[in-house]
Structure 1
C-alpha cells in the first residue's frame, strides 16, 4: 500500500497535469460510471492529500462543486501519459483526459464522490499527518502516551498518525533506537519530540524524490563500501525487508515478526526492549 509521501506526491502531479482546463471524465470499467458522468466536462480546481487519502476538487459546467475521493488500498495505482490516452484495456475505474495528457486509475480501494461534509468527517477520524501544515503531533502523542498498545502498532494506526506505513514505521523506530514492542505509555515525551520532526523530514524527502531513503550519510553504500540496495521499493533503508541481514550499525541480524497482520522489521541490539 502506498505510504503518505506517495499520495502527497500524486496530489502535486495531478494538479500540474489536470488543473484549469475542461476535462473528459469516464469510467471504462463502468464501476464509477455515474460519478464520472457528473464530473465529465468539469474543471479541476485543486487537490488535497491527508494520510493515504487523495482528493480532487472539481467545478462542473453548471457551477457545482464536487470532490473525488480516492484511497488506493493494496492494489490501486494511477497511470498518466501525455497527449491522447490509448484505448483502455483491463479494469480502468476512472479515466481523465486533459488537453496536455491523461490519467487512469485502476484497482483502488475507494473511488467515490464526497460532499464537503464527507471530507470533513473523514479528516476528523485521521491522526496527525507529518506532511500537512495543520498536523498536531501533540495530539498524536496524547493518544500514544495513554495506550498500552506497542508503539510499532500505534504508528501504523491511521487515527493516530496518518500516512505512515510499514516502511516509515520500521525505519523511524530504528533511527531513534526504539523497540517496536515498547508500550505507547512507556514512550517518553522527549523521545517523541525527537522522532516527530525526523519523520517529517524523511517524508518530505520522499515527496521530493519519490523514494524512501532513511540511512544517514555515514551508512550510505559509498561510505560503507557496500553495494546499493536492490529492491522493488527502492531507497536505502536500515531494517525494512532486510530480515536475516546484518544491521548497518551493529552487524546484528535484522529480525522480522508479525505485528497486527503486518511484517515488522527491527534490530534487537539497536532497538532493545
Structure 2
C-alpha cells in the first residue's frame, strides 16, 4: 500500500497539472459514472492530502476523495497527440488541457462534501507531512496505550501516513524494540522519532523513494529489490544487521510483517 509520501506527491502533481483548468472527468470502467458526472466540466481548484487520503477540490464545493488501498494507481498521459483510449479498468479519468491521468484499482473513489471530508479527517491522527500537524495528539494516545509501539505506529488514527517501511525503519533508527508498550515509551524518544519521521517523509516526497539508511551505513548487502534504496531491517529477515551483524528477525504483527534487530533494538 502506498505510504503517505506517495499520496502527497500525487496531490502536488495533480495540483500542478490541473489547477485552474476546467477538466473532463469520466469513468471508462463505469463504476464511478455518477461521481464523474458531478465534477465533469468543473474547475479543478486544488488537490490536498492527509495521510493516505487524496482530495481533489472542484469549484462549487464538490470534492473527490481517493484512497488507493493496496492496488490503486494513477497513470499519467499527454493529450497533445489526442486523448488515448483507456486501457484496463479505469475507475476515473481526468483530462486537462495538456495532460491527463487514469486511476485504476482504488479502495475508495467518491464525491464528498466538506462535512464528509471533516468526518474523514476526524478519524485520522496528525500527518507528519502537514505543517498543521500536532504531534502532541499522537503522543497522548501512545503514552496511554498498552498496545506495542510497532502496532501503534501503523494505526492511522494515531499517526496518518505511516506504512510498513517507515514503521520498521523508524523504530530501528531510534533503537526501539517494536514490542515495547506505548506506556513504556519516553516522551523524549517519541519527540526525536517524530522529528526524524517528518524529515524522512519529506525526503520521500522530494525523491519519490523511501530513503532511511544514513550515508555512512549505505553499503554492504544490496536492497531487497531492484532500484530500491537499501533498508536497515525492512524485508531483510535472516540477513545480518548492517550495524551489529545480528540476523534480522521477523514476525507477523496485526496482519503486517514486522522486522527488527534483536540486538540493536532493546
TM-score interval, normalised by the smaller of the two chains:
over 0.9
Contact 1:212 1:236 in 2 (8 A): no
Contact 2:25 2:40 (C-alpha < 8 Å) held by counterparts: yes
1:235 maps to 229
What is the aligned partner in structure 2 of residue 101 from structure 1? 99
Q: How far does the alpha carbon of each residue in 1:222-261 deviate from its partner, in whole angstroms, 9 at most, with x for none?
A: xxxx364251682221000111111111011011100000
Q: 1:227 to 1:185 in 2, by over 3 A?
A: closer
Q: Which residue of 2 aligns with 1:45?
A: 45
Query: How far, CA to CA, are the matches of 1:227 and 1:9 in structure 2?
Result: 29
SS at match of 2:252: strand
Q: In angstroms, what is the RMSD of aligned CA positions?
A: 1.1
SS of the equivalent of 2:232 reads coil
Question: 2:248 aligned with 1:254, yes or no?
Answer: yes
Distance 1:232 1:240 in 2: 14
User: Could you tell me which residue of structure 2 aligns to residue 209 of structure 1?
Assistant: 207
Structure 2 equivalent of residue 112 of structure 1:
110
- State the secondary structure of the residue aligned to 1:69: strand
Deviations 1:181-205 (A, max 9, x none): 0000000111111110000000000
TM-score, normalization by structure 2: 0.97
In the other structure, the counterpart of 1:161 is 159
Partner of 2:75: 79
Residue 21, structure 1, aligned to residue 21, structure 2: yes
Contact (CA 8 Å) 1:140, 1:160: kept in 2 or not? Answer: yes
C-alpha displacement at 1:43, in angstroms?
1.3
Q: Distance between the aligned counterparts of 1:162 and 1:150, measured in 2?
A: 17
SS at match of 2:9: helix
Q: Which residue of 2 aligns with 1:190?
A: 188
Partner of 1:265: 259
Q: Which runs of 5+ in 1 are unaligned?
A: none
Q: Is the 8 A contact 2:61 2:114 kept in 1?
A: no
Q: How many residues align?
A: 264
**Per-residue deviation at 1:39?**
1.1
Q: Select the residue among 195, 207, 218 that pairs with 1:220.
A: 218
Give 1:36's aligned residue: 36
Uncovered stretches (5+) of structure 2, i.e. residues with no partner: none
Distance (Å, rounded) in 1 between the aligned partners of 2:125 and 2:143 = 14
